[in-house]
Amino acid sequence: MTEPHTTEETNNTVQAHITRARQRLTAAGCDTPKLDAEVLLAHVLRRDRTWLMSHPEAILAEAERSTFAKFIDRREAREPVAYLTGSKAFYGLDFVVTPDTLIPRPETELLVETALQWATSSLTSSSSESPKIQKSKYSIVDVGTGSGCIAVTLAKYLPEAHIMAVDMSASALAIARQNAERHGVAAQIKFVQGDLLAPVEKLVDMIVSNPPYVHPEELVTPVTSPEVNHYEPRLALDGGVEGLAVIQRLLAQAPDCLELGGMLLVEIGATQGNVVKKLAQAKFPAATIDIEPDLAGLDRLLVVKNRVD
């Protein structure tokens, strides 16, 4: 017969720690307090959340309690969970993230999905309209690569692609390279420190970017969450005047770097669709230009299909 837990043991079970952490994180204003508590405890115990749910009575060792308490203190101060665990899932892959890199967002998966569809169809098309058909390789530039989540994912699913990953931050590039090595695609990606498309020396088939596009006046609480304002790199967020300065510079450079028949994909803010489309039309007057919505129905992706002469 199983001996009943003492009061001290009951207070140190998985369930008890999750309950107390959830209460603290709720009071701190965290959006997903229970999930945060579970993810952090699973990380401390080197288990998954399924194990936690099936072992609510498990007793935490003193070292585990201490580590978990420190994590909850930091999360209570609104430090992002991804920085605490050091990783974030994106498009089915797990990425190392640090405060030197923007945390990958689900919204950015729309860009990756669109890029994969375009690249696959461009490589396999039997039409005679495009000069890119019959290509056995595909050249891509990822502008502002950050953690490398876009470049690495594209390399993983497009083994025929040659990718240049550009970022102004040497620290971010180091993390991106680490993620490329982690997923076995480092040989496909060239990591270059530079500003936007400045390092590009020859025409490429595709340009992809999740650039800074937040209006600087929005980088305050409560307009933007403390997790973003206080912890994520401002260089990766602040889009300059109206949140459009970086996008404008990127669009000004892109026509000289993109192949005929190529594609430009740029993630944008939810209210920027109309103005960004007009900016793109001015730089690519003969191109097909669209704004694609994300799953919430908000403007999210500028799609430029370059003309074919």
pLDDT at 6: 62
What pLDDT score does 130 carry?
A: 47
What's the whole-model pTM score?
Answer: 0.91
Do 277 and 192 share a domain, yes or no? yes
The pLDDT, as a whole number, for residue 131 is 46
Residues 120 and 149 in one domain: yes
- Flag whether 2 is in a domain: no
Query: Do 158 and 284 belong together in one domain?
Result: yes
Looking at the fold, whether 189 and 114 belong to one and the same domain comes out as yes
Last residue in a domain, options 36, 57, 77 = 77
Q: With respect to residue 189, please indicate whether it lies within any of the assigned structural domains.
A: yes
**What's the CATH code of the domain at 256?**
3.40.50.150
DSSP string, the chain: -PPPPPHHHHHTBHHHHHHHHHHHHHHTT-SSHHHHHHHHHHHHHT--HHHHHH-TTPBPPHHHHHHHHHHHHHHHTT--HHHHHTEEEETTEEEE--TTSPPP-GGGHHHHHHHHHHHHHHHH---SS-TTTT-S-EEEEEET-TT-HHHHHHHHH-TTEEEEEEES-HHHHHHHHHHHHHTT-GGGEEEEE-STTTT--S-EEEEEE----B-GGGSSTTTS-HHHHHHS-GGGTB-SGGGTHHHHHHHHHGGGTEEEEEEEEEE--TT-HHHHHHHHHHH-TTSEEEEEE-TTS-EEEEEEE----
* 238, 165: one domain: yes
Predicted pLDDT of residue 129: 46
Residue 142 is assigned to a structural domain of this protein: yes
Given 77, 100, 115, the domain boundary residue is 77
Answer yes or no: do 33 and 95 share one domain: no
How much is the pLDDT for 126?
40
If asked whether residues 258 and 146 sit together in one domain, one would say yes
Q: Is residue 84 part of a domain?
A: no
Residue 210 lies in a domain: yes
Same structural domain, 108 and 73 = no
265 and 218 in a common domain: yes
Do the domain assignments include residue 82? no
User: Where does a domain end: 77, 101, 130?
Assistant: 77
Instruction: Residue 47: give the domain boundaries.
Output: 7-77
Parts of the chain with a pLDDT under 50? 1-4, 126-134
140 shares its domain with 262 = yes
Q: How many domains does the chain have?
A: 2
Q: What is the pLDDT of residues 250-294, one digit of tens each?
A: 999 999 999 999 999 999 999 999 999 999 999 999 999 999 999
CATH number at residue 49: 1.10.8.10
Query: In this structure, is residue 173 part of a structural domain?
Result: yes
| 146 and 71 assigned to the same domain | no
Q: What is the pLDDT of residue 307?
A: 82
